[in-house]
């Protein structure tokens, strides 16, 4: 169906914040993306499905299944797939080291690039409390930073026990639009700082739905973005350099189907996955 020169081969692909199970997930575009991108290793950097949303109302259309099938198929064909859970799919954090259909779960990981650099890979929600209180913590210093990280997991456990939905960084930052830029800055700083603490050259994360390749105080900061609004992924090329991929092209439906008009977008992928 696709000539092989259409396929882009990367050493590693990183993607996050797909939020399968929520109506906002752009599953059809992700299927299209996965069809023409291959990699030796694929990192799923959290919030791949949205357990919080699913708990409230079950929404799991065929296209969301197709994304899962597509990933399992890549694993069967030899791709190494590592699943780093986020806050919305945190139930998976209970299975570190487990394999599901060839997909390995890890709470966080160190990725070694082709050019020998070490990258901390984590979702990033671990730093929500740090980000929200960035100014206070900067004032109080190192101990406050460590305390904030410890408080973060307790804070979310309490919220969960009380039945509150998980606090969402991106919607919260959007509500405070005027300050969104400084919140993103605080997030980047917190993640870069953690990479430094773990003796890494950089960090690869998700969570804030804002894709970026940047440098923060000598640490490379890489954010995979999301598949809710921006449809982005990060690719590591064979030489170890990173590329931000924005997937904007329309879903490719075979011409015979296109002529029929309103064909569900999941159908071609389903056939391919079968």
Question: Residues in the site for Mn ion, rule: CB under 5 A?
Answer: 47, 86-87, 125, 207
Select 47 or 126, whichever has its Cβ closest to Mn ion.
Answer: 47
Contact 36, 7 (CB under 8 A): yes
Select 35 or 207, whichever has its Cβ closest to Mn ion.
Answer: 207
Select 125 or 236, whichever has its Cβ closest to Mn ion.
Answer: 125
Least gap, CB of 143 to Mn ion (angstroms):
26
Select 86 or 202, whichever has its Cβ closest to Mn ion.
Answer: 86
Least gap, CB of 86 to Mn ion (angstroms):
4
Least gap, CB of 38 to Mn ion (angstroms):
26
Those residues with Cβ within 8 angstroms of residue 77's Cβ, 6 or more apart along the chain or in another chain: none
Least gap, CB of 208 to Mn ion (angstroms):
8
Select 66 or 226, whichever has its Cβ closest to Mn ion.
Answer: 226
Q: What are the contacts of 186-189 at 24+ separation with CB within 8 A?
A: 186/130, 186/131, 186/134, 187/124, 187/127, 187/131, 188/212, 188/214, 188/216, 188/221, 188/223, 189/134, 189/216, 189/217
Select 47 or 194, whichever has its Cβ closest to Mn ion.
Answer: 47
Least gap, CB of 88 to Mn ion (angstroms):
6
Contact 131, 190 (CB under 8 A): yes
List the beta bridge partners of residue 80: 41
Task: State the Cα–Cα distance between residues 67 and 182, nearest whole angstrom.
Answer: 34
CA-wise closest residue to 199 among 145, 119, 124, 270: 119
Task: State the Cα–Cα distance between residues 85 and 46, nearest whole angstrom.
Answer: 4
Least gap, CB of 46 to Mn ion (angstroms):
6
């Amino acid at each position: 169906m696709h000539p092989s020169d259409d396929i882009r081969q990367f050493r590693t692909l990183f993607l996050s914040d797909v939020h399968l199970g929520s109506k906002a997930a752009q599953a059809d575009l992700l299927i299209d993306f996965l069809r023409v991108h291959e990699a030796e290793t694929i990192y799923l950097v959290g919030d791949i499905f949205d357990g919080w949303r699913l708990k409230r109302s079950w929404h799991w259309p065929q296209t969301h299944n197709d994304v899962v099938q597509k990933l399992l198929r890549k694993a069967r064909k030899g791709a190494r797939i590592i699943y780093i859970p986020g806050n919305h799919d945190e139930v998976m954090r209970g299975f570190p080291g487990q394999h599901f259909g060839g997909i390995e779960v890890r709470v966080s990981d160190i990725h070694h690039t082709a050019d020998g650099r070490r990258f901390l890979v984590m979702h990033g929600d671990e730093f929500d409390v740090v980000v929200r209180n960035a100014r206070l913590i900067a004032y109080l210093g190192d101990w406050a930073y460590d305390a904030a990280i410890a408080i973060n997991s307790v804070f979310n456990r309490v919220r969960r026990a009380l039945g509150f939905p998980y606090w969402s960084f991106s919607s919260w930052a959007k509500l405070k639009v005027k300050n969104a830029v400084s919140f993103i800055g605080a997030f980047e700083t917190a993640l870069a700082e953690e990479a430094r603490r773990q003796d890494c050259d950089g960090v690869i994360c998700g969570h804030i739905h804002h894709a970026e390749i940047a440098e923060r105080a000598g640490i490379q900061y890489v954010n995979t973005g999301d598949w809710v609004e921006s449809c982005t992924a990060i690719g590591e090329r064979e030489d170890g350099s990173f590329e931000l991929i924005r997937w904007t092209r329309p879903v490719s439906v075979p011409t015979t189907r296109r002529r029929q008009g309103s064909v569900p977008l999941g159908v071609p992928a389903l056939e391919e996955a079968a």
